[in-house]
Amino acid sequence: MFDEIKKEYINLMNNEKLPYIKCKSCGNVFFYPRDYCPKCNSKNLEVKVSKGDGKVFSITKFQGKKGDTYYGIVEMDEGFRIYSNIKNSLEIGDKVTVEFIEENGRKIPIFKGLSGT
Ligand SMILES: [Zn+2]
């Protein structure tokens, strides 16, 4: 069961679609793939695709040799939270949308502001 979820999840991500997991028993939604619901322990799960819109919940700045990078928690319209790369010049509460960048041969999400930043 978990292998199927993980496979579908990676597949969606590589096709530049943001997956999330919904528990069919209690309706809980979450991002990271697991084989049971963290809320009710049900294994009755399905993989869904997010519309990709949300807002910034928190931001952390990392200073690196190649410049600063930003990570943040984004609260998605579907109700789950994702810890992800975000572009700079965003602030808490800003509306964002997902796009994908390639890193080490696989696609990962990065969030940018809806206003074009
Ligand atoms: Zn559940």
* pLDDT score recorded for residue 116: 53
**What would the CATH number be for the domain defined by 53-113?**
2.40.50
Residue 113 CA, ligand 1 centroid: distance in Å: 31
Residue 88's CB: how many other CB atoms inside 10 A? Answer: 13
What is the model's pLDDT at position 109? 96
Q: Which residues of the chain does CATH 2.20.28 include? A: 1-50
- 1-50, CATH topology level: Rubrerythrin, domain 2 (2.20.28)
Q: What is the mean pLDDT of each run of 10 residues along the chain (117 residues)?
A: 88 96 97 93 96 96 89 97 91 96 93 78
- If you write DSSP's letter for every residue of 33-93 in order, what string do you get? --SS-TTT----EEEEE---EEEEEEEEEEEETTEEEEEEEEEETTS-EEEEEE-SS--TT
Distance 90 CA to ligand 1 centre (A): 33
Instruction: Tell me the CA–centroid distance for residue 22 and ligand 1, in Å.
Output: 8
Buried b (16+ CB within 10 A) or exposed e, 11-48: ebbeeebbbbbbbeeeebbbbebeeebeeeeeeebebe
User: Ligand 1 mean position to 31 CA, how many Å?
Assistant: 13
**Distance (Å) from CA 83 to ligand 1 centroid:** 21
Q: What is the pLDDT of residue 1?
A: 67
CA of residue 89 to ligand 1 center, whole Å:
36
- Specify the domain boundaries for CATH 2.40.50 within the chain: 53-113
Q: How far is CA 49 from CA 9, 14, 53, 112, in A?
A: 9, 13, 11, 18
pLDDT recorded at residue 2:
80
Q: Cα(84) to centroid of ligand 1, in Å? A: 24
